[in-house]
Amino acid sequence: MDHFLYHNGVLHAEDVPLSEIAEAVGTPFYCYSTATLTRHFRLFDEALAGMDHLVCYAMKAASNQAILKTLAALGAGMDVVSGGEYARAKAAGVPGERIVFSGVGKTRDEMRQALIGGIRQFNVESEPEMVALNAVALELGVRAPITIRVNPDVDAKTHAKIATGKSENKFGIPIARAREVYAQAAALPGLEVIGIDVHIGSQLTELAPFRLAYEKVAELTQVLRADGHDIRRLDLGGGLGIPYTRSNEAPPLPTEYGALIREVLGHLGCEIEIEPGRLIAGNAGILVARVIYVKSGEGRDFLILDAAMNDLIRPAMYDAHHDIVPLVEAAPGVEQQPYDVVGPVCESGDTFAKGRMLPPLAEGDLVAFRSAGAYGAVMSSEYNTRPLVPEVLVHGRDFAVIRSRPTFDEMINRDTIPEWL
């Protein structure tokens, strides 16, 4: 469910007509719903009620500080994967004890940054990282709390580019070597082993892969405890998918996911961490664009929009589907027609959809890409010297620009000309 609905034939974000925002800030722009962000976070939090747990929002999905502050006020922790994300979380007022640091390539500077600023734990991905973190912690005279990410070799049955739990993926250590690596960690004086980490991928639409992975984690927990390790926290990652189309079967609900966690891991008495990103932010955001031209081609019509692949790269990068809807609702019975929906960038890959059935549209009409809140604005770029688009947050009848569109001068003036030129 989201809070982008038609009222009197006009698409609204909560109580704000999206056409009103378009008039105020121009197009294209991203728009997020506070009510949807709140609802989705609470679904996860309530799914684990009664268990010792922390829902750590995966910031890589959408990292604007207004979004972070909205979720932090609800009690969310943050899952970060870079020093920049760590700095964003702290700037948004998230205390270090609610920040988890993930990622395969943490640098010593990033480790130092988090140890000085405060950190809940590092999710360690390799033995070289473990050695480096131990050295930094000893240098600072502290012990670094760690979980070790294990790779359970489970097929998440998702897109190959977002699968992370198979043996060929770069993430974590093979679960078969876990006892050996945990023993090495326990021998390093700068590290404090507190738990296990696992994450098998993103946009999972069934629970079976989670069950397989979590059953392996449950078994490993017992084995490591028998080896003398104080395993008291299980970081289960994220990955629960969202419905990108209105017609397909809905992925499992957070309540069903929470019930699975209770069933498979509840008897262990561990604190549970989960790291949802896409399901919290995905359907909480849309991208609004304007039709520049309607072009008739050889056997097809093109909708050329003012949004491009640099604004929303998921279709070009993953062949991802986003529902596209007009801001003014079509009258009942209007016959739809196929369009190739494209942007103005000089690449054939700048295509959002082919043969998409839409009501007749004309130059100047506004359309919205649904389910664009996750991996939308955060993956955008200034390719073709196109400005990053504004981000807008809606709260009831109010809206605010939470990232402004830069001017051409601001973009160009970031360049520095060498003195010999």
The domain 4-31+282-412: what is its CATH number?
2.40.37.10
Cβ neighbors of 246 (< 8 A, separation 6 or more) are 323
Helix (H) or strand (E) holding 316: helix 314-318
In this structure, of 14-18, 164-168, 179-183, 386-390, the range with the lowest mean pLDDT score is: 164-168
Q: Average pLDDT, whole number, for the chain?
A: 94
Q: Tens digit of pLDDT for each residue in 396-406?
A: 999 999 999 99
What pLDDT is recorded for position 188? 98
Count of other CB atoms within 10 angstroms of residue 357? 11
Mean pLDDT of 159-175: 57
Q: What angle do CA 27, 329, 26 make, to 5 degrees?
A: 10
- How far apart (Å, rounded) are the C-alpha atoms in residues 232 and 219? 14
- The rounded distance, in Å, linking the Cα atoms of 25 and 241 is 31
Domain locations along the chain: 4-31+282-412, 103-274
- What pLDDT does 203 receive? 83
Dihedral sign for Cα atoms in the order 315, 321, 327, 331: positive
pLDDT given for residue 159 in this prediction:
44
**Rounded Cα distance, 20 and 1, in Å:** 23
Q: Which residues of 399-412 are buried (b: 16+ CB within 10 A; e: fewer)?
A: beebbeebeeeeee
For position 6, what pLDDT does the model report?
Answer: 97
Q: Which two tokens stand for residue 72?
A: 């932090």
Among left, alpha and beta (phi > 0; psi -120 to 50; other), residue 52 is beta
Say if residues 195 and 231 touch (Cβ distance below 8 Å): yes
> Alpha-carbon distance 204 to 238, whole Å?
9
Tell me what pLDDT residue 73 has.
97
pLDDT at residue 250, as a whole number: 77
Which alpha helices (H) appear in 48-82, and where do they start and end?
65-72
Q: Which of 31, 56, 270, 346 is catalytic?
A: 346
Query: d(Cα 359, Cα 373) in Å, to the nearest integer?
Result: 24
pLDDT band for position 239 (50/70/90)?
Answer: confident
- 110 a known binding residue? no
**Which of 166-175, 184-193, 239-248, 281-290 bottoms out in mean pLDDT, i.e. has the lowest?**
166-175
Phi–psi pair at 92, nearest 5 degrees:
-80, 0
Lowest mean per-residue pLDDT among 164-178, 185-199, 403-417 = 164-178
Mean predicted confidence (pLDDT) in 273-285? 96
What whole-number percentage of the chain has pLDDT above 90?
87
The DSSP bridge partners found for residue 342 are 304, 351
238 is in an annotated binding site: no
- Annotation-wise, does 277 bind a ligand? yes
The pLDDT > 70 percentage for the chain reads 95
- Measured CA to CA, the distance from residue 280 to residue 275 in angstroms comes to 10
State pLDDT tens for residues 345-394: 999 999 999 999 999 999 999 999 999 999 999 999 999 999 999 999 99
Does the annotation count 56 as an active-site position?
no
Structure tokens belonging to residue 333: 């019975």
Instruction: Count Cβ atoms below 10 Å from residue 317 Cβ, excluding itself.
Output: 14
CA distance 226 to 171: 26
Q: pLDDT-based confidence at 165, cuts 50/70/90? A: very low
Is 278 a known ligand-binding residue?
Answer: yes
Calculate the alpha carbon distances from 193 to 150, 184, 229, 293 in Å: 14, 10, 7, 59
**Residue 36, pLDDT score:** 98
For residue 215, the SS3 value is helix
Q: Which two tokens stand for residue 406?
A: 């830069």
From CA 234, how far away is CA 197, in angstroms rounded?
Answer: 6
Amino acid at 205: T
Cis peptide before 28 (omega within 30 of 0): yes
Residue 276 annotated in ligand binding? yes
pLDDT at 158: 46
The CATH classification number of 103-274 equals 3.20.20.10
The pair of three-digit structure tokens given for residue 307, joined into one six-digit string: 């949004």
318 annotated among ligand-binding-site residues: yes
CA–CA distances in Å: residue 236 to residues 19, 130, 152, 320: 41, 20, 12, 25
CA nearest neighbour of 198 among 133, 98, 274, 107: 274
